Amino acid sequence: MLLHTLMILMLIMSLTSSVHAHVGTSPTYAYEPAAAVTHYTNARIPHGLDERHKITYHLFDTQMPGPHIVIIAGIHGNEPAPRYAAQYIVDHFHFEQGRFLIIPVASLYAATHQTRNIQRDDLNRQFHNPDPRGNAAQRVAASIIDIITDFEPDAIIDLHKATPGRLVNTLVHHQDNPQTAALTRHAIQFATDAINDSALVNNVGGNRPFREFPYENFPGTTSREFSYLFGVPSLLLETGLHHPMSLRVAQHLFLIDALVTFFTDTHAPE
């Protein structure tokens, strides 16, 4: 696994409510990157837009056989915990096999304005109709798809924070794609079993266990459209709203750790 459970539990104690504590710290227990791992940082500005919509992404190549895994955060600008988790992965995770594409802030515009949408449009409803000449959200969606296409993914993980309701503590997927449904459900079962047996759920008062949430039809979302577009498992992780930021960040990290472990273990040899 990328991080031991103990490391993640220590993260809960080390993170504070400060934004800088989530995205700029170097805890003493953090792994150092392996010497063989190459890390490239790149950025893309969607067609016709400007720096306010720049998409910065990170590529990690371990030089070892393994899955190509995409981790996206910041699709909604008013959900900071996913962004902090993704940036923590960039800064501290130790990648051992395969290749990883990390997009910590998919919508810089929404994050800067601390809003859900890009202007009036929800980015996570645009992936069925990306258009490099459409509205700003459609242009951002088209650029994200181009970045992922070049990466040739084996699995995609999108990080979110749910408002109170049925999506709290869920792993969302689109169940109607027979090409990906079975493997996706196995991955979800593996991850939810792991986190529900951990202190990240059991020792938190009133915390709902994590569970699978299969959507039948929700056009434009990453969990639906990417499963068809790329033919790979595409999961959307939803944590809750009313727990401390550090707990939500740690839950994202734990789930990512479990999912990466699963996809690495089940990846066919190259």
The CATH number that applies at residue 23 is 3.40.630.10
What pLDDT is recorded for position 7?
Answer: 55
Q: Quick one: tokens of 19? A: 């934004």
Cβ count near 62 (within 10 Å) = 18
**What are the residue ranges in the chain where pLDDT is below 70?**
1-35, 202-206, 216-217, 270
Distance CA 145, CA 175 (A): 21
pLDDT at 200: 83
Structural contact between residues 130 and 141, judged by C-beta atoms closer than 8 angstroms: yes
| Predicted local distance difference test score (pLDDT) of residue 11 | 55
d(CA 31, CA 20): 19
pLDDT at 260: 93
Extended beta strands in the chain, E state: 38-44, 55-61, 68-72, 99-103, 155-161, 170-174, 211-215, 234-239
Per DSSP, what are the bridge partners of residue 71? 102, 157
Q: Which residues are within 8 A (CB) of 238 and not within 5 positions of it... i.e. 6 or more apart?
A: 160, 161, 162, 167, 168, 169, 170, 171, 172, 213
The number of folded domains in the chain is: 1
Domain that holds residue 179: 5-266
Q: What angle do CA 241, 247, 253 make, to 5 degrees?
A: 105
pLDDT at 206: 61
